[in-house]
Structure 1
Amino acid sequence: MSLFLAVQIIGIYVAIQISAFEVIPVAETVPAVKGFLLMFAAATALFLVLIKFFKRRLGFMKVLMAFIIFVGSETVFSVIFSELTALLLALSLVVIRFTYPTILVQNVSLILALAGVGATIGLLFNVSTIFIILAILSVYDIIAVYKTKHMLTLFKGTLDSGVPLALIASEKLSDMGSELKKATLKTPTTKREYTFLGTGDVAFPLILAVSALRTGFSVSAFVIVGGLVGILIIHSLLIYGKGKPIPALPPLAACTMGAYLLASYFLI
């Protein structure tokens, strides 16, 4: 929960700072939804093909993660430091991530990356667009985990290659200093040492919260609270399901969208 909350708080701060100095045009709903879903489908298909035929030789995933960390963290650093300093810090973070691949470094890198990327996307999309995307991707997530199971294939492929696009939590704080390769998926019948929360499951609540800033800060804060409720539901489902993988986006989407609607009605 603390990892999720860190992304939300940093992302909201970054979005507020950016919007204070820049006027960012908001994309129209229909073209934005079509464009996003087309890119998402193409990326998913490409990853599945590469994972199927290239197995562990997934150098492209390292390039992708490096790009996400650099772009996202540079956005965060740029609201605090000069442009040159932000670039150097972002580049340093990428180097550290691949030189010292520990769970702690993985989490810090992705927290900053997701905060920056989520803030940027949230400023580009309106709430209606995000609602539609969340609804569609929630259905997709359920199908991808329970029916086709290709989401599990994607995640295991990135985990085996040492570049999981996920935040990693552990019940033991001492495990944060462990090497990333020790964070593995155990069989459902054994006790899970690590819990993985995908980047999309963390980023989309932030994207909605940032977009909700146009309605009001209190509404945005309420969306984040809704996300925390979603995290608690996911944790409960994992315990009930004895560690079996579950689609995390549906409960997060339902809670954050519900929180936005409630806040818009009662707080505005």
Structure 2
Amino acid sequence: MSSEKKSIEEYKPMLAMAGIIIIVQLIALLLAAPMVAEDMRAFENPDDTSNPIIYIFVILIFTFLLLIAIKRGMQWIIQLTILLAVASTMYYVFFALLSLTGLSALANNAISMAVAAILTLLLYKFPEWYVINTIGLIIGAGASAIFGISLSIIPVVILLSLLAIYDAIAVYKTKHMIDLAEGVMDLRLPILFVMPKHMKYSFIEDSFKKNEGEEREAFFMGLGDAIMPTILVVSANVFLTDVYRIGGFINIPALGAMIGTIVGFIALTVLVMRGKPQAGLPFLNGGVILGYIAGVLIGGTPFY
């Protein structure tokens, strides 16, 4: 095998990761309208710039509690908490989608709860990588849509900027984000996307304990790396109302934000392929913000 062909093979999982981000963004854009119609906003006033501060505060508290639980060997609490969050997010996603079918509220509730419960049970009993990824797509798109319709553009930009700084500090300085990731890997929950390097890989059987110099059999990307930039994509498409939409679906600033996300991901990939853990949000959030600005300038639209 030539070195060029080998290089292409090595990058295939990362290209698949880029595809996952795009799928999350497209599904989130589709979910936005029915979620707005069902008033699924997380914040009452989308323009309130204190909303991102509240969001960051909740993340810090949740991270602190997770780290305590890991150090005390109380992984079952983490598992239960995340499974409940997964089930509730999937419920909102399916409720929003089924609301488009004209079902009664009672029937919609029953079906959405049943599907969410079945998928959560499947995740608990059989957390293979393709199950993790499928459910990750659902909750990633759902969470992105909920916060995208809940925060207008300025609060989102503030949120993404603060999260990029926090992620950089947590990975490069305090390193507690790496400790957190390693602590929850064994729980095999949809807090990350898994892209195997070969089809024989099993996420269930992976011990995650590698000797120095030994390569992992899969690439991993945190769910937040797909969710956070997508919030701006959805927000731009929802709150910039008097803007031309391509195919009636997406406006140019939102499309620019999508492209910017992928550009940021490519830059991140180049560094990740060198074998060192990287903070994803500085690249992804930076890319989506710059892409949004480029889209605004190209489309000749207001910034917010």
Fold conserved between structures, TM > 0.5: yes
**Aligned-residue offset at 1:106:** 0.7
Conserved 8 A contact 1:68-1:113: no
Give the equivalent residue in structure 1 for 2:276: 244
C-alpha distance in 2 between matches for 1:97 and 1:23: 25
In structure 2, the CA distance between the partners of 1:92 and 1:202, relative to structure 1 (3 Å rule), is same
In structure 2, the CA distance between the partners of 1:5 and 1:64, relative to structure 1 (3 Å rule), is farther
**Aligned-residue offset at 1:204:** 0.6
In structure 2, the CA distance between the partners of 1:188 and 1:79, relative to structure 1 (3 Å rule), is farther
In structure 2, the CA distance between the partners of 1:188 and 1:33, relative to structure 1 (3 Å rule), is farther
Give the equivalent residue in structure 2 for 1:201: 225
C-alpha distance in 2 between matches for 1:133 and 1:80: 27
1:59-138 equivalences in 2 (<5 Å): 59-81=76-98, 82-138=108-164
1:7-37 superposed Cα distances (whole Å, 9 cap, x missing partner) = 1111110013323565955434332122112
**Aligned-residue offset at 1:66:** 1.2
| Higher share of residues assigned helix | 1
1:63-107 superposed Cα distances (whole Å, 9 cap, x missing partner) = 222122212222221233233212211111101101111111111
Conserved 8 A contact 1:78-1:86: yes
Give the equivalent residue in structure 2 for 1:143: 169
Give the equivalent residue in structure 2 for 1:259: 291
In structure 2, the CA distance between the partners of 1:208 and 1:181, relative to structure 1 (3 Å rule), is farther
Q: Give the alignment's Cα RMSD to 1 decimal.
A: 2.1
Q: Which has the larger radius of gyration?
A: 2
1:41-83 superposed Cα distances (whole Å, 9 cap, x missing partner) = 21121112221222xx311221222122212222221233233
Conserved 8 A contact 1:205-1:252: yes
C-alpha distance in 2 between matches for 1:150 and 1:44: 9
Amino acid at match of 1:79: A
**Aligned-residue offset at 1:113:** 0.9
Give the equivalent residue in structure 2 for 1:221: 255
**Aligned-residue offset at 1:246:** 0.5
Give the equivalent residue in structure 2 for 1:230: 264
In structure 2, the CA distance between the partners of 1:152 and 1:187, relative to structure 1 (3 Å rule), is farther
Amino acid at match of 2:34: Q
C-alpha distance in 2 between matches for 1:193 and 1:23: 39
In structure 2, the CA distance between the partners of 1:188 and 1:232, relative to structure 1 (3 Å rule), is farther
1:223-256 superposed Cα distances (whole Å, 9 cap, x missing partner) = 11211222222211111x2x21100010001110
Conserved 8 A contact 2:165-2:282: yes
Give the equivalent residue in structure 1 for 2:234: 210
Amino acid at match of 2:52: V
C-alpha distance in 2 between matches for 1:187 and 1:151: 21
Comparing 62-71 and 257-266, the one that deviates more: 62-71
Number of positions where the alignment pairs a residue of Structure 1 with one of Structure 2: 262
Q: Which runs of 5+ in 2 are unaligned?
A: 1-17, 99-107, 244-249
Comparing 166-175 and 3-12, the one that deviates more: 166-175
In structure 2, the CA distance between the partners of 1:79 and 1:27, relative to structure 1 (3 Å rule), is closer
C-alpha distance in 1 between matches for 2:292 and 2:209: 34
Conserved 8 A contact 2:233-2:257: yes
C-alpha distance in 1 between matches for 2:271 and 2:211: 16
In structure 2, the CA distance between the partners of 1:173 and 1:76, relative to structure 1 (3 Å rule), is farther
C-alpha distance in 2 between matches for 1:261 and 1:235: 23
Give the equivalent residue in structure 2 for 1:154: 180
Q: Which runs of 5+ in 1 are unaligned?
A: none
In structure 2, the CA distance between the partners of 1:187 and 1:227, relative to structure 1 (3 Å rule), is farther
Conserved 8 A contact 2:48-2:155: yes
> Does the residue aligned with 1:195 lie in a helix, a strand or coil?
strand
In structure 2, the CA distance between the partners of 1:165 and 1:236, relative to structure 1 (3 Å rule), is same
Give the equivalent residue in structure 1 for 2:213: 189
**Aligned-residue offset at 1:142:** 1.2
Conserved 8 A contact 2:31-2:97: no
TM-score, normalised relative to structure 2: 0.80
Instruction: Return structure 1 stretches of 4+ with deviation > 6 angstroms.
Output: none
